[in-house]
Each structure stands twice: as C-alpha cells, then as structure tokens.
Amino acid sequence: MSRTGRFIQVAVIAATASLAVTACGGSEGGEGGTGDEGAATDELELVTAGTLTVCSEVPYPPFEIEDSSAPSGYSGFDIDLAQAIAEDLGLELSVQDVSFDGIQSGTAYASGQCDMGASAITITEERQANLDFSDPYYDSLQSLLVAADSGIQGIDDLAGQPVAVQATTTGEAYAQENAPEAELISFPGDAEMWPALQAGQVVAILQDLPVNVTHAQDDPAYVIVEEYDTEESYGFAFGKDSNPNLLAAVNESLQTMRDDGSYQELYDSYFSTEG
C-alpha cells in the first residue's frame, strides 16, 4: 500500500487504559509503581527499574526523529507508539540511539543496553532466529528515490550506477536480488544516505517508502520513481527468549490501543493521505 500523505509530527498520545500484567512470582524490587502496578512492573525484568529502555537508530523520519520537546527527547511514529506503551505500563521511556546492526542482530539486548528495539525493524525469519518480535504494528513498502532530473525511471536503469542502501536491512537484500548489476553502497543509515544522494555520490536510495516520501516532500528536486511490495511488517524487537513477560505486556498494550482507537489516531497523524 502507498503511504504518500503528509507526515505530521504530533504530541505523544497518552494511553487511555491501564494494562494489568499478571505477576508470576517474585523478583528484585522495581520502581515502576506501588501496589498491584509495582508488582506487575517488577515482573517485566527491565534494564532500569521503572523505565522502558528502547534502542533506536536516529534519525529515520518519520519513524525516529530527534525532538527536544518530547518527553524522551525523540519522537516519530515508532517512538510515539513506544511512549504510549510505556505510559500504559506505568513506566518512563528512555531512548538510546544505537546502530541498527546492534538492534537487529540482538547484541543490544544481550549487552543490557535496552529492553526493546523500536527502529522500523522488519520481521523476518532470519531475524527471528536471534530476536523475539511483538505483534506487527506497521506494514511497509520499499521504494526508489532519485533526483527528478536523473533520467532514472526504475530499478532496471541502475546497472553500473552507485545506489545507496542501508546495511543489514531488507532494502539492501531487495537491491542485491533485484538490482545485481548496480553498484550497491551500504551506509549505516538514512543520516548518511540522504546527504550522499544530495551530494551526487549516489544516484538513488533504495529503502523504506515512508522515509523516501519524507525526503521527496521536503525537497521536490527528488522523486520516488518506483515502489516495491515486499510484504514487510515492522515489530518491536526483544532479546531471544529473554523477557516473555515484557513481550506479552507490549502486545497487550498494542491491542488495547487498537481497541480504544488511539493507535489509529497516532497512525493517521503520520500517514493519513488526507490534508
């Protein structure tokens, strides 16, 4: 599906329902609350008591954006959704800006950097070998962004041309399979790819559609010439078999937000095609 509407940064939606997490036994004291809420958050085995610590690679608009006005210092669809989940669980939100490779490989959780990854992470079988994922919360497409005057009309025009992809992503895998004659250049993230395209170091960026849409909206000298339906869905990531209680709590919170309409409200604020 195409999401080409205006992305509007909005304030974090406060969750409207308190999530009841069943306590399964005692653990060391947490600071997530008092009474039943405190007992529930104790069971989540958080890196820092009372805080949901999220690893994310920033910037990756519209999913991750530096934002000094936001409670965590970051906003974007992923972060705002994580903020709402944290509030629903009676927790503070802390965001750690780390490399995407550390997030998708599982090292960020094994090293105790964070409880959860929120960084437009596509759920794949390969990643599921090292990670647990929440229920899907976003469906995405890949896309090709080029200069409007480049003459490039699609992926078939990339042979012998330098093309930017993000390392260890599904966009890189798609380009390797479908543009084998292109000169693929792997970058750490969008923060490096976008300036490379603007500077003429590459002729195109192949990556997630919403990110390329943001660039095309911000600078009409660049256009999206193709979209690719790769049947991808994003999920929040966790260390493999490391915290089933937190995983269950996040899934329940996501369902609560779907049921009460707050998820749709947040989604529409970023991806609505109206207005």
Looking at the domain assignment, is residue 205 inside a domain? yes
Looking at the domain assignment, is residue 171 inside a domain? yes
pLDDT digits (tens, 9 = 90+) for 201-215: 999 999 999 999 999
pLDDT digits (tens, 9 = 90+) for 227-262: 999 999 999 999 999 999 999 999 999 999 999 999
Q: How far apart are CA 45 and CA 136, in angstroms?
A: 23
pLDDT digits (tens, 9 = 90+) for 18-74: 333 333 333 333 333 333 455 456 789 999 999 999 999 999 999 999 999 999 999
Do 171 and 100 share a structural domain?
Answer: no
Do 130 and 247 share a structural domain?
Answer: yes
Do 46 and 248 contact (CB within 8 A), yes or no? no
Looking at the domain assignment, is residue 259 inside a domain? yes
* pLDDT value of position 17: 32
Do 145 and 225 share a structural domain?
Answer: yes
pLDDT digits (tens, 9 = 90+) for 160-208: 999 999 999 999 999 999 999 999 999 999 999 999 999 999 999 999 9
Q: In Å, how far from its chain's centre is CA 144?
A: 19
What CATH number does residue 187 fall under? 3.40.190.10
Do 156 and 214 share a structural domain?
Answer: yes
CA separation (Å) from 248 to 111, 126, 217, 255? 22, 22, 37, 11
Which residue segment(s) compose the domain that 195 sits in?
141-230
Looking at the domain assignment, is residue 193 inside a domain? yes
pLDDT digits (tens, 9 = 90+) for 63-121: 999 999 999 999 999 999 999 999 999 999 999 999 999 999 999 999 999 999 999 99
Looking at the domain assignment, is residue 12 inside a domain? no
Q: In Å, how far from its chain's centre is CA 70?
A: 17
Looking at the domain assignment, is residue 188 inside a domain? yes
Do 116 and 245 share a structural domain?
Answer: yes
Do 129 and 57 share a structural domain?
Answer: yes
Do 226 and 239 share a structural domain?
Answer: no
Give the burial class of 180: count Cβ atoms within 10 A of its Cβ; 0-12 exposed, 13-18 middle, 19 or more buried.
Answer: exposed
